[in-house]
């Protein structure tokens, strides 16, 4: 019977007809160092681009925030000074005002 049917080894891949696929299968290659470097540096480049685009706005906000904090601290200090001056000259303080 082996003369009539050819023996097929089940471990051998079948030969496919030419043009069976419309593409070439992807073949594994070595490490692509250039692509790996791009993937590592991409977040840093994005952060740098964000700072370059909005850096002026961030500095402006920082300056204005510092200005508001300074003004608030000055107002509170001058408010305390005027309050203590008013309390010391109050008729209810027990001291004679001059």
Domain-embedded: residue 28: no
Domain-embedded: residue 11: no
Domain-embedded: residue 54: yes
69 is in which domain, residue-wise?
41-85
The pLDDT tens digits of the residues spanning 72-85 come to 777 776 666 666 66
CA distances 41 to 18, 33, 38, 55, Å, are: 43, 12, 5, 20
pLDDT of residue 95: 54
Task: State the DSSP code for 11.
Answer: T
**pTM for this entry:** 0.36
The pLDDT tens digits of the residues spanning 22-75 come to 777 788 888 889 999 999 999 999 999 998 888 777 777 777 777 777 777 777
Q: What is the number of structural domains in the chain?
A: 1
Domain-embedded: residue 70: yes
Domain-embedded: residue 3: no
Domain-embedded: residue 60: yes
Domain-embedded: residue 65: yes
51 vs 34: CA distance, rounded Å: 25
């Amino acid at each position: 019977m082996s003369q009539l049917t050819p023996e097929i080894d089940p471990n051998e891949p079948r030969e496919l007809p030419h043009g069976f696929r419309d593409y070439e299968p992807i073949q594994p290659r070595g490490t692509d160092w250039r692509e790996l470097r791009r993937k590592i540096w991409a977040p840093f480049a994005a952060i740098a681009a964000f700072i370059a685009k909005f850096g002026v706005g961030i500095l402006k906000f920082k300056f204005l925030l510092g200005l508001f904090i300074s003004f608030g601290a000055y107002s509170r200090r001058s408010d305390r000074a005027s309050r203590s001056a008013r309390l010391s000259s109050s008729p209810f303080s027990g001291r004679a005002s001059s």
